Structure 1
Amino acid sequence: MTWYQFDMVDLHLFVHVQPNSKLTEWAGTHGDRIKVKVNAPPHNNAANQACYKFFTKFFQVPK
């Protein structure tokens, strides 16, 4: 299995998120997932929101 799946309509990314990083950035792979470091704590959904913001900016899609 790869870290993504494209079915001609949707792109599914399989992501390993590492919270509490100094920067929000791509960090290679983690097994069969793409790894993203985020500068946010893992509490109160903050890391998920930081990851969402990172992807919307990177892929230039509306929030």
Structure 2
Amino acid sequence: MSWLRQDGSDWVLSLYLQPGARKTEVAGLHDGALKLRLNAPPVEGKANKALIAWLADWFGVPKQGVVLESGELSRHKRVRVVGTGRDPAGLLP
């Protein structure tokens, strides 16, 4: 899968975000990335915080285990998830 790669015991995800959505959910694939709708506005880092919290909950890791590697101010983001046994392929509907 082009949006997903394993790096040792970590997972690295390529994401495309749609902030300001009615609810946070996976919306499929978009241009080689996993598309997520976020129920958070794209202001003052709120969407990034919501993304990290949602991914930490889904993967069952602490928030410190979700690292935003690139795309802090972009809809396109690369996120590293550390220390999970859960396969991110399960994110796809």
The answer to whether TM tops 0.5 is yes
Report runs of 4+ in structure 1 exceeding 6 Å deviation: none
Residue 20 in structure 1 maps to residue 39 in structure 2: no
How far has the Cα of 1:38 moved from its partner?
A: 0.4
Q: CA RMSD in A?
A: 1.2
Task: Give aligned-pair identity as a percent.
Answer: 38
Aligned equivalent of 2:8: 8
The count of corresponding residues between Structure 1 and Structure 2 is 63
Higher relative contact order (CA 8 A, sep 6+): 2
CA distance in 1, matches of 2:18, 2:35: 7
TM-score (norm. length: structure 2): 0.64
How far has the Cα of 1:7 moved from its partner?
A: 2.4
TM-score (norm. length: structure 1): 0.92
Higher strand share goes to which structure?
A: 2
Give matches, 1:1-63, under 5 Å. Answer: 2-63=2-63
CA distance in 2, matches of 1:19, 1:56: 18
CA distance in 1, matches of 2:59, 2:10: 13
Stretches of structure 2 that go unaligned for 5 or more consecutive residues are 64-93
